[in-house]
Amino acid sequence: MVSVEITPYLDINLDSEMWVCSTCNGDLIECSSNYKIGCSVAERDPSEIHHSEIDTDYKFSPDSNWCKIIEFYCPHCGAMIENEYLPLGHPITHDIDIDVDQLRKIVSEDPGDLRIKS
């Protein structure tokens, strides 16, 4: 098995071509897809994270009518892989779209600074 560390919480397994949770080694989804599709997803009210002592129209937390925090967890262990602050209903961002063929080529020829897990 050859896995490459892409983020602190995500590896790409080049054998299975899967996104893998680096906390528990659980598979998420094919690495050609947005890893978020393989996550467990939750909508959080900003006030659950950002405390405000006042409840005026403008306060010390984002406006929950305008945006929510979308959290992406590993469905196996619950590690939070990523989150996004989005206006209600806005599409989820496909933030990491690796050229896997090129990655495989580099790993086989000269991995350089890539961190390989065998």
Partner 1 sequence: MLDYGAIQISMREWIRTEPATDHEIEQASKIQPGMYEVYSNKLDVALDEARTVFVRTGVSAFLRAGDLVVGLHNAKGDLVCASCGTYIHAAIAQLPIKYIIDLYIKGDSNVKVKPGDIFYTNEALVGGLHNPDQIAMMPIFFEGELIAWSSAAVHQQETGAIEPGGMPQTATSRHDEGMRLTPIKIAENYEIRDDLMDMMVNFISRAPQMQEIDVRARCTATDKLRQRVQELAQEIGPDCVHGLFRKMIDAAESGARARISSWTDGVYRSVAFVDTTGNDETLLKVALAVHKKGDSIHLDFTGTSPECEGSYNTYGHGVAAFLATYLYPYVFHDLPVSTGTLTPFTFEVPDGSLLNAGHEKAVCNCVYLGRSVISLCFDAFTRLLYSTDPSRAVAAPSSHSGGGSFKGINNIGWPISESFSFTLNTDGQGARHDKDGMNAHGFFYSPWGKTNNLEDFEEHGIFLGLTRRHFNDAHGFGKYRGGVGTQNMNVVISGPVEVTSRGKGSRIPHDNGVFGGYASTSLPGISIIGSDALDLLENEVDFPVSVRELVVDRSISGDYKFERINRSNRTLETGDIWITLSSGGGGFGDPLERDPNSVLSDLNNDLISNWTARNVYHVHIKNGKLDLNKTKELRSNELQSRLHRGTNYNDFSNNWSKKSPPIPVSTF
- Tell me which residues touch partner 1 (CB under 8 A): 4-9, 36-43, 46, 48-51, 53-54, 56-63, 65-67, 69-71, 73, 75, 77-99, 102-103, 106, 112-115
Nearer to partner 1, 1 or 50 (CB): 50
Q: Quick one: how far is CA 20 from the chain centroid?
A: 11
Which residue has 């959290």 as its token pair? 71
Nearer to partner 1, 15 or 101 (CB): 101
Q: Smallest distance, Å, CB 16 to partner 1?
A: 18
Nearer to partner 1, 16 or 83 (CB): 83
Nearer to partner 1, 27 or 59 (CB): 59
What whole-number distance in Å separates Cα of residue 47 and Cα of residue 58? 13
What whole-number distance in Å separates Cα of residue 77 and Cα of residue 75? 6
Q: Smallest distance, Å, CB 12 to partner 1?
A: 9
From residue 23, alpha-carbon distances to 50, 74, 94, 100 in Å are: 26, 9, 21, 21
Which one-letter amino acid corresponds to residue 1?
M
